[in-house]
Amino acid sequence: MAKLLYLRDVGPSEVGGFGISNADDLLLVEDIQLVEQVCSVVSVEFDDDSVADFFDQQVDMGRQPEQFARIWIHTHPGASPSPSGTDEETFERCFGGVNWAVMHIIAVEGNTYTRARFNVGPGTERRLRSRVEFDFEFPAADHEAWFIEYCDNVTVDDPFTSRRPFAESYDLDWWEQTPSAADRWSDSLLEAVS
C-alpha cells in the first residue's frame, strides 16, 4: 500500500500497474508493478510491448498469469475513485477475455473503488472492499527504487506542453527534499496511535 500511495502522489497524472498476487491467495496483492505507459490526468495507456515483456518476465520468475495479469490497479488524481467511461472501456477490452479480473482505483484522498468481474458461466460483477493486511510481512519502503521505476515507465501527456517522459519533466532530486504522502500518512498514523 505504501508503494501505491507513493506512485499515486509522485506525479501530476494517473498512473497504472499490475497487482502481483500471493500464489495462495490471489486477492492478496503483494506488490504493484508499472509498465511503460502514457498518462494524463484522465487516462493511462499501457505500451503493448512493455506489457508483453512484463508478462514474459513474470512467467520466467515462475508466476502464473493469475498472479500478475488479473488485477489492474490505477490512480485518480482527483478525489473520486469512481471508474470513468475510459476506465470501463479499458477494463472490458483488456480484461474481458480472462476468467476473472479486478479493477482497483485509489484517489488522492484515499477513497477506493474495487470491483471483480467473473467472465465464466453467466458472468457477474461484484464490488469488493479493499483493506491493508498487516498480518503478513512486507519489505521496507524504498522511495528511491519506486521513483526510478516511475521515471522509467511513465510518460506524462500534458495538454499544455509536449508529451514527455516524467524524468524529463521534473527535477529528479525533489523526492529527497519532499516527504511523500505515504510518509505524511504514516507520520500522522503514528501520532494518532501515540
In a domain, 159, yes or no: no
- Is residue 141 included in any domain, yes or no? yes
Residue at 164 is within a domain: no
Q: Which domain holds residue 99?
A: 1-147
186 pLDDT exceeds 50?
A: no
Note the pLDDT of residue 109: 87
pLDDT the model gives residue 135: 73
For residue 69, being part of any structural domain is answered with: yes
Q: In which residue are the cell numbers 521515471 written?
A: 151
Q: Give the mean pLDDT of 69-84.
A: 95
121 φψ region: left (φ > 0), alpha (ψ -120 to 50), beta (else): left
pTM given for the model: 0.80
- Domain count for the chain: 1
Q: In the predicted model, is pLDDT for residue 166 greater than 60?
A: no
**Contact (CB, 8 A) for 42 and 73:** no
- Domain with residue 39: its CATH number is 3.40.140.10
